[in-house]
Chains A and B, each alone.
Chain A
């Protein structure tokens, strides 16, 4: 009598909470920011993806907390030209880019999931965008870690973005 096959377990994806993000130096990211980030420096956050108390993170999401900036600039009636978030390694190298700010890019909110970890690097990064405007929610192209290229590569185009929108600036 046979036994039922065990199904493959769901890969252990974790959800990045905005509460995990901190000013870069407090989040273990000690490298200088690119010049176009300086205008928003007090609002830049580094969000470690992976890592723990014993094992430091090898990957961070650098992003501007736009809502904090806007709360401090109530007279700002135009949406600023914020720099786009970057996934950076411990050497400061850009490994991929997001086309929208985490966790808030007016009027949308982003939910980022990552995993499973391979040698400290998330194998895949998925971002769901909650969009209150017409036509609703959508996903960003899925990013997958390519160790031989030492970067994250978008796996698909979506209705909103192409794979190129996820690549680092030259």
Chain B
């Protein structure tokens, strides 16, 4: 298995990853599963949910997700939506407070408060939301930053899990 942090860093800076969550996640998965085909976010979420090679991780257990990533396991999270969902990867590191970055609301620049402690994320996005652009400085909550997070699901690639 490749080293997770190296795979993330390599995928994060590929030209077609810069503005695409699904391209970024695809490149990371390919480092572990070379024949993984490209899928848009909605299709990838469906694929992960039915694949026997992936195992669901409890969304509310950020510490477990962080521990898995710190041990080198590949954990992917995502949610389907219309027209496009979003996918990201859990970044290896300690859990942290969410928020702490600027955003604009009705012409006013505000700082997002913490809404809890979560695993760190690595994420790219076509959109402008700062919480969805993370190289480990945001959390898995920050991309959705609200009630939509409650339907985000996470899966760990079984072959990347540390031996017990």
Write the residues of chain A forming the contact surface with B, with a CB cutoff of 8 angstroms: 70, 76-79, 99-100, 104-109, 131-136, 138, 159-161
Contact = CB atoms under 8 A, between A and B. Distances in A.
B81 interface: yes
A161 B150 CA distance: 10
Interface residues of B, number: 32
A156 to B, nearest CB: 16
Interface in B118-143: 125, 127-129, 131-132, 142-143
Contact of A159 (B99, B100, B129, B151): B151
14 contacts: A70-B113, A77-B97, A77-B100, A77-B114, A99-B147, A107-B105, A107-B110, A131-B148, A132-B104, A133-B145, A133-B148, A134-B125, A134-B144, A161-B147
Interface in B87-106: 97, 99-100, 103-106
Given A79-B113, A79-B114, A135-B81, 19 more contacts: A77-B113, A78-B97, A79-B115, A105-B146, A106-B113, A107-B103, A107-B110, A107-B112, A132-B103, A132-B128, A133-B143, A133-B144, A134-B127, A134-B143, A134-B144, A135-B84, A136-B81, A159-B148, A160-B151
A132 B145 CA distance: 9
Contacts of B114: 77-79
A109 B103 CA distance: 13
A70 B131 CA distance: 20
A127 B82 CA distance: 19
Contacts of B129: 132-134
A105 B150 CA distance: 16
Contacts of A106: 110, 112-113, 115
Contacts of B151: 159-160
